[in-house]
Amino acid sequence: MTESLVAGSPNPLSHRLFARPEIGATAAAGVILVFFLAAAPAFRSGGSFFTVLYQSSTIGIVAIGVGLLMIGGEFDLSAGVIVTTAGLANSMFCWWFGIDLWVGALLSLAFCLFIGFVNGYLVMRTGIPSFLITLGTFFVLQGANLGLTKVVTGSVTSPDISRMDGYPLLEGVFASNFDAGGVTVWGTVLWWLGFTALAAWVLQRTRTGNWVFAIGGSADSARAVGVPVVRTKIGLFMTVSFLGWFVGMHTLYRFNTLQAGNGVGNEFLYIIAAVVGGTLLTGGYGNAIGVGIGAFIFGTTSLGIVYAGWDPNWFKAFLGVMLLLAVLVNLYVKSLATSTRLLRDSPGKADDA
C-alpha cells in the first residue's frame, strides 16, 4: 500500500519544534525581557521581577481557563466580571447575614460554578455562538454587580470584610505573601504556576485533555467517535468560572473592599494572553504553558513600560501589536499543520496528495 502512504524517517526536529504552540510566544517573551532589562535599570532586580510575576498571575490564572475553553472552541466574555461577582457575592452575603467568610466563599464558589454551567448549557442547548451567550452573561453580571451592591450596601463599593470572622484564614489562602531572600513573593504566583502545570498535564497527558482538543478541532468528529462533547464543553465553562472565582477571592482578601464596576475589560486581556501564547482562536490548538507565557508577556510589557519611565498610555497600542503578530504566527503555524507542506518539505518521498 505504499503507493498511497509514505514510509520514511520522522519529521526533522526543527519541524516538530516549530509546530509547538508556545514557541512564538517563548521567543517573544525572551526578546521583550531582554529589551526591558536593557532599557529599564529599575527592572533589573528580584523585587521588580516578582512584581511582574504578580501582575502576570492575576491575569494568568483566569487566562488558563479561557485558554482551555478556546482550545475547546468556545469563548467566555463574562470571565472578567465574574471575578468581581465572586468577590462581591462573598463579601455581601457574609455582611448581610453576618456569617463566617468561609461559608460565603463556598457559596460564592457554588454560584460561580453555576454561572459557568449556565453559560455552557445555553451554548450547547441552543447552538448560539458562545460569543453571544457570554456577552449576555457579561452584561447581566455587570448590571447585577452594580444593582445588587447598591441595594445591599447603599453604595457601589462592597463593605470592608477585614474584621469579619474567618478573614485571617482566607487571607492566608488567597492573598498571602512571603519574603524570599529579600523579595516579596505573592501566593498567587505559586497558584498560577501550579494551575498552569496542572492544566498542561490535563491537556497533554489525560483523556480529558484529548477530548478538549477534539471538541475544539472538530466537535462533530469527536461526537461521532463517542466523545461526550456537551459534558466536556460545560466542564470547560465551569473551569473558567472556577478560576475567575479564585482570582475574585484573591482580590477581595487583598483589598477587603471591591468596586462593583471593576473587572470589565479584563476578559479581553485573558483572550489576548491565550492568543499571544499560541492558542488558536478557532479552537483545537494551543497549550497551557503558552497561555502562561502569554500572561507573562502581558505582565512584563505593562510594567516594563513603567519601569522604563515611558508613558504607559502607549501600552495598549503595544499590546495590540503583540496580538496581531501572534495571530499572524498562529495562522502560519495552522497552515503548516493542516497542509501537506510538512510532507513535501521533508526528505521523505512525496505522496499522492
Partner 1 sequence: MTLIEMREVGKTYGPIRALGGISLSVRAGEVTCVLGDNGAGKSTLIKIMSGLLEHTEGQLMVDGEELVFSSPRQALSRGIATVYQDLAVVPLMEVWRNFFLGAELRSGRFPLAGLRIREMRRIADEELRKMGITVKDINQPIGTLSGGQRQCVAIARAVYFGARVLILDEPTAALGVKQSGVVLKYTAAARDAGLGVVFITHNPHHAYLVGDRFLVLKRGRVELDSRRDEISLNDLTQEMAGGDELDALAHELRRTTK
Partner 2 sequence: MALVAAVLVLTACSEGGRVKDPDTGDGTAGDNSGYTIAMITHETPGDSFWDRVRAGAEQAAKNTGVDLKYSNDPDAGKQAVLIQNAVDSRVDGIATTLVTPDALAGSVKTATQAGIPVVGLNAGIDDYRRLGVSMYFGSDETRAGTAAGERIAAEGAKHPLCVIHQAGSVSLEARCEGVRSAVPDTENLQVNGADDAAVVSTLQAKLQQDPSIDYIVSLGAPIALDAGKAKESGDSQAKIITFDLNQETAQGVKDGTIEFSIDQQPYMQGFMAVTSLYLNLKNGNDLGGGEAVLTGPSFVDGDNIGQILPFVQNGTR
Binding site for partner 1 (CB under 8 A): 1-11, 16, 19, 201-202, 205-208, 210, 213-214, 217-218, 220-228, 280, 284-285, 334, 337-343, 346, 348, 351-353
Q: How far is CA 160 from the centre of its chain?
A: 28
User: Binding string, 183-202, against partner 2, x = CB under 8 A?
Assistant: -x------------------
- Between CA 279 and CA 299 the distance in angstroms is 18
Return the residue of 129, 168, 312, 320 that touches partner 2, per CB under 8 A.
312
Q: Which does 212 bind (CB under 5 to 8 A by kind): partner 1, partner 2, none?
A: none
Binding residues for partner 2 restricted to 238-257, rule: CB under 8 A:
250-251, 254-257
Count the helix, strand and coil residues of the chain and give each as a percent rounded to the nearest 5.
70, 5, 25
**Residues 203-233, buried b or exposed e (16+ Cβ, 10 A)?**
beeeeebbbbbbbbbebeebeeeebebbebb
Cell numbers standing for residue 176? 498571602
Stretch that binds partner 2, among 18-26, 44-52, 126-134, 285-293 (CB under 8 A): 44-52
Cell numbers standing for residue 199? 492544566
Binding residues for partner 2 restricted to 155-184, rule: CB under 8 A:
155-157, 159-166, 184
- Between CA 267 and CA 86 the distance in angstroms is 15
Cell numbers standing for residue 280? 488558536
Stretch that binds partner 2, among 63-71, 221-229, 262-270, 329-337 (CB under 8 A): 262-270
Return the residue of 12, 45, 194, 198 that touches partner 2, per CB under 8 A.
45
Closer Cβ to partner 2, 159 or 290, answer by number: 159
The count of chain residues that interact with partner 2, using the rule CB under 8 A, is 64
Q: What is the DSSP string of 217-243?
A: H-HHHHHHTT--HHHHHHHHHHHHHHH
Binding residues for partner 2 restricted to 55-74, rule: CB under 8 A:
55, 58
